[in-house]
């Protein structure tokens, strides 16, 4: 391309590193998620592949850009593909468009009716309830806090403050639901960012047992059900580092001891090596 002075003008290209930084900023936990557009197409793909919105947010926040960004449908838009290796070893991917107006349009992801639980977003007018299946649950409806939108990449929906919404759903399940079904157990586990093996370490069961609960092959027993709720509420209050607890429990199982020695330190009494 030549400028008015006859010199060559380099055409702008978005680098993979810059694209990753933009995606992470738009999908950050501190962001309102109002700039994330979930197209109808990605919602259909998520439903077919049993992928929930937490998994997609995890890909956006932790994944890597595959290849180089491509020009989008409109000047100034860039299409990117993000991939992330999941705890199961599978690689999940999301195709998104970074638009010129600063939004992230999510367009593709690889990876009888129950009672309605309706959530409202404070300060937003009530709307026709929107079934929020992207969270991985079938009975969650939003009475506000969302906007339908049209983009060059298809119609979509914007969910405001998704992390706050997921915390509200998790708190409701942990404190108000009499029994937890498989999808609800998986939702709480994903909220704590735990693998089935890590949750099993905390609840003192195998990962295969957790998998059977989540597939609704067998119900979760009462003591484990109660402990799961307590663990989630501890995670929600940020008083317990759940992943550190899971790792510590696994390490303690691998290294049994004959005696446990405590010693006074500047931080008070602590366990030290025997």
User: In this structure, is residue 265 part of a structural domain?
Assistant: no
Of residues 68, 65, 60, 145, the one with CA closest to residue 106: 60
Both 189 and 145 in one domain: the answer is: no
> Which residue has better confidence, 127 or 53?
53
SS3 letters for 152-213? CCEEEEEECCHHHHHHHHHHHHHHHCCCCCHHHHHHHHHHCCCCHHHHHHHHCCCHHHHHHH
Count of structural domains within the chain: 2
Chain segment 126-172, per-residue pLDDT in tens: 568 889 999 999 889 998 889 999 888 889 999 999 999 999 999 99
User: In this structure, is residue 110 part of a structural domain?
Assistant: yes
Question: Domain boundary residue among 167, 185, 219?
Answer: 167
Strands laid side by side in the 140-142 sheet: 117-119, 140-142, 130-131
Both 84 and 161 in one domain: the answer is: yes
Instruction: Give the span between the Cα atoms of 164 and 171, in whole angstroms.
Output: 10
Distances (CA, A) of 186 to 28, 68, 84: 22, 34, 19
Tell me if residue 40 falls in helix, strand or coil: helix
Both 27 and 99 in one domain: the answer is: yes
Chain segment 23-47, per-residue pLDDT in tens: 999 888 766 778 899 999 889 888 8
Instruction: Give the span between the Cα atoms of 211 and 116, in whole angstroms.
Output: 26
Q: Identify the CATH number of the domain in which residue 236 sits.
A: 1.10.260.40
- Cβ partners under 8 Å of residue 174, min gap 6: 188, 229, 232, 233, 236
Chain segment 91-119, per-residue pLDDT in tens: 788 899 999 888 999 987 654 334 456 55
Both 181 and 149 in one domain: the answer is: no
Both 121 and 243 in one domain: the answer is: no
Question: Domain boundary residue among 111, 138, 167?
Answer: 167
User: In this structure, is residue 260 part of a structural domain?
Assistant: no
The pLDDT score that the predictor gives to residue 259 is 74
**pTM for this predicted structure:** 0.71
Q: Which domain holds residue 124?
A: 16-167
Both 232 and 124 in one domain: the answer is: no
What single string gives the DSSP state of each residue in 91-122?
EEEEEEEE-TTS-EEEEEE---PPPPEEE--T
Q: Which residue has the tokens 């999940």?
A: 92
Are 111 and 190 in contact by the 8 Å Cβ rule? The answer is: no
- Cβ partners under 8 Å of residue 82, min gap 6: 20, 23, 59, 60, 63, 64, 65, 66, 93, 94, 96
Both 136 and 205 in one domain: the answer is: no
Both 58 and 161 in one domain: the answer is: yes
Question: Domain boundary residue among 143, 167, 191?
Answer: 167
Both 27 and 141 in one domain: the answer is: yes
Both 69 and 136 in one domain: the answer is: yes
Distances (CA, A) of 111 to 8, 93, 115, 207: 43, 7, 27, 21
Both 132 and 34 in one domain: the answer is: yes
User: In this structure, is residue 192 part of a structural domain?
Assistant: yes
The alpha carbon of 173 is separated from its chain's Cα centroid by a whole number of angstroms, namely 17
For 195, phi and psi rounded to 5 degrees?
-80, 170
User: In this structure, is residue 271 part of a structural domain?
Assistant: no
Both 84 and 23 in one domain: the answer is: yes
């Amino acid at each position: 391309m030549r400028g008015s002075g006859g010199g060559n003008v380099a055409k702008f290209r978005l680098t993979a590193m810059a694209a990753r930084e933009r995606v992470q900023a738009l999908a950050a936990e501190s962001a309102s998620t109002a700039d994330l557009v979930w197209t109808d197409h990605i919602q259909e793909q998520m439903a077919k592949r049993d992928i929930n919105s937490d998994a997609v947010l995890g890909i956006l926040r932790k994944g890597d850009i595959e290849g180089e960004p491509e020009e989008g449908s409109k000047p100034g838009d860039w299409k990117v593909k993000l991939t992330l290796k999941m705890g199961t070893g599978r690689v999940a991917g999301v195709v998104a468009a970074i638009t010129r107006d600063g939004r992230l349009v999510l367009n593709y992801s690889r990876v009888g009716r129950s009672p309605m639980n309706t959530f409202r977003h404070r300060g937003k007018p009530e709307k026709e309830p929107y079934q929020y299946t992207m969270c991985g649950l079938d009975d969650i409806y939003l009475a506000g806090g969302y906007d339908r939108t049209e983009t060059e990449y298809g119609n979509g929906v914007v969910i405001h403050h998704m992390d706050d919404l997921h915390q509200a759903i998790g708190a409701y399940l942990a404190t108000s639901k009499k029994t937890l079904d498989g999808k609800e157990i998986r939702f709480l586990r994903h909220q704590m960012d735990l693998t089935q093996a890590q949750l099993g370490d905390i609840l003192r069961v195998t990962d295969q047992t957790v998998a059977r609960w989540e597939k609704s092959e067998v119900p979760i027993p009462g003591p484990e059900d109660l402990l799961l709720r307590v663990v989630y509420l501890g995670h929600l209050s940020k008083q317990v580092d759940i992943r550190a607890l899971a790792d510590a429990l696994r390490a303690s199982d691998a290294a049994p001891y004959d005696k446990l020695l405590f010693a006074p330190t500047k931080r008070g009494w602590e366990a030290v090596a025997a």
